[in-house]
Chains A and B, each alone.
Chain A
């Protein structure tokens, strides 16, 4: 009896939790296929089902542009952050570069409310002519993803990987070769997971994008927010746009899970 309870209870709690998170998503999914009037009906009903909202976001709003901007900026920021974060994490793990001070410094930059960074960035970008540009937003996103990714990656370079590198060093590898041929491939699942997370982080970022982007560089989250204020809340197209903007994230999740677990279980090797 007790054993059954011990097995059932976690499932009940987890199901309740999942439902809590899933409900809004399901609601949005439903709304994206209906019209504005049926959207707010309680209890929820389906009403006229159709793809009109999906057509509308592409026809009436610059949705394609937002999507491409988001893609360019998220890919750009991740492509720059990932190698830099890998190198930084390796330096932390292997040489304790900068000591506890630098490590905590990097972490502290993550703890600041992002709003604190917005104003200085705004000033600098204005001066450097980076306002409203893709490059500017990529740089802004680096201030978030670089510290986050390097912290995440440190643990992948600690522990067993160091032993393997030692074996390689005695085998005749230079420091660089040990890094390139042993540390990076062994930590690859972790690096991949970090890259995916970095992409998602950038993809969803709102505050920097709101302040620092312009019409030509507006990202999805900013565009979606614009829908809310247009003429009241365009709830149905908004829902459709939200669903489309979630597609890349959901497409990445299975990989993220697989590689994160693979990365975290690295310690199990003997």
Chain B
């Protein structure tokens, strides 16, 4: 078990491309850290630098307090699970599992014991004498995980290990991994671009974009206080609605709707009054009934279409007087609206987030967790 710390780490590929720039991240001993971001943002590159599969162009990497920049991957004592599993095709499952231990000269009896334990834990006992080609996707995933677990490394690096699984298996494995982390308590760095995985699995999320870290924090913290419109628009599905609007002393103009701000909020944003802002409104903060206690204000929208999901209905609509942007609103499961129908929602203004249209960063984060 060990902490992992990246300080001002850069990665320039031989073709000159800067895949990771000035990344600093402290992952605590035993922490479950998520690396989240769109495709090509440098998540795998970061993970591979931690594992030693890519050289670090600039900056420092410490694992368990020791500098690792120039340490051979074999000696870093971390385990990695790849998206495509990378099981050794010419070896049986049992040989795949025991390969690392055999290289380290661990005794036969100990190997057998550990392999049996892991096989039992992951339910792959029946598969031990098969070759990877004879396994299903889910079984391969378990074997790949087992191969990492059996070595009892200092840290697990998981590079989208669940992305090749079907939805049901993926959610089962998600739970499995969370439980595993709870029993073992080993540091885990989990790369994903699935924001459900990010929200549900990690203790902290590190959101990356174009090779830099945008925000690091606990899932709910990042969810409630996104630092900029990128994070706001990336997390959750449907994500936060982002609408151009105008801020006045005590109100916000959204199309032809004027939202009165509660005094505290008006005060907080006073410095930005009389300017264009981007209003961030979560889909679940629109209610069908007014709630005096929750400081709601009416918003008139034109329904465009509804997505009936079962437990809830997502209404896609435009704000009256602001035909350009579509917003998503989470509605109760029996809600229905015809296209073009006008619906009045009551928006919980206390949840409002405002962003600077030029820098895209949050003006002020008024919402506490």
Contacts and interface: CB of A to CB of B under 8 A. Distances in A.
Interface of A: 163-164, 166-174, 177, 181-182, 185-186, 188, 269-270
Given A171-B99, A171-B100, A172-B151, A270 B85 contact: yes
A181 B87 CA distance: 13
B79 interface: yes
Given A166-B53, A172-B74, A188-B90, 15 more contacts: A164-B88, A164-B89, A166-B86, A167-B86, A170-B73, A171-B74, A171-B99, A171-B147, A172-B100, A172-B104, A173-B99, A181-B99, A269-B132, A270-B84, A270-B85
Contacts of B88: 164, 167-168, 182, 186
Most buried by A among B76, B90, B151: B90
Interface string B342-364: 00000000000000000000000
A167 B144 CA distance: 10
B293 interface: no
Nearest to B79: A170
Interface in B56-88: 72-74, 76, 78-80, 82, 84-88
B90 A185 contact: yes
B288 interface: no
Most buried by A among B82, B86, B87, B88: B86
B52 interface: yes
Contacts of A270: 84-85, 140, 164
10 contacts: A163-B86, A167-B82, A169-B53, A170-B76, A171-B74, A173-B103, A174-B72, A186-B88, A188-B90, A270-B140
B93 to A, nearest CB: 14
B133 interface: yes
Contacts of A169: 52-53, 72-74
B51 interface: yes
Most buried by B among A164, A170, A269: A170
What DSSP secondary structure best describes chain A's contact surface? helix
Nearest to B54: A166
Given A163-B86, A166-B86, A169-B74, A177 B103 contact: yes
Nearest to A177: B103
B80 A167 contact: yes
A163 B84 contact: yes
Contacts of A185: 90
A94 to B, nearest CB: 13
B52 A170 contact: yes
A182 B51 CA distance: 19
Contacts of A170: 51-53, 73-74, 76, 78-80
Contacts of A173: 74, 99, 103
A270 B76 CA distance: 26
Contacts of B79: 170-171
Interface in B138-182: 140, 147, 151, 164
B53 A186 contact: no
B103 A172 contact: yes
B157 to A, nearest CB: 8
Contacts of B133: 269
A174 B74 contact: yes
Most buried by A among B74, B79, B104: B74
Interface in B86-120: 86-90, 99-100, 103-104
A163 B100 contact: no
Contacts of B140: 270
Contacts of B132: 269
A171 B151 contact: yes
B103 to A, nearest CB: 4
Contacts of B147: 171
B103 A164 contact: no
A186 B80 contact: no
A166 B76 CA distance: 13
A177 B51 CA distance: 18
A170 B100 CA distance: 9
Given A170-B52, A170-B53, A177-B103, A186 B84 contact: no
A97 to B, nearest CB: 15
Contacts of B151: 171-172
Contacts of B53: 166, 169-170
B331 to A, nearest CB: 41
A98 B51 CA distance: 27
B106 to A, nearest CB: 10
A182 B86 CA distance: 11
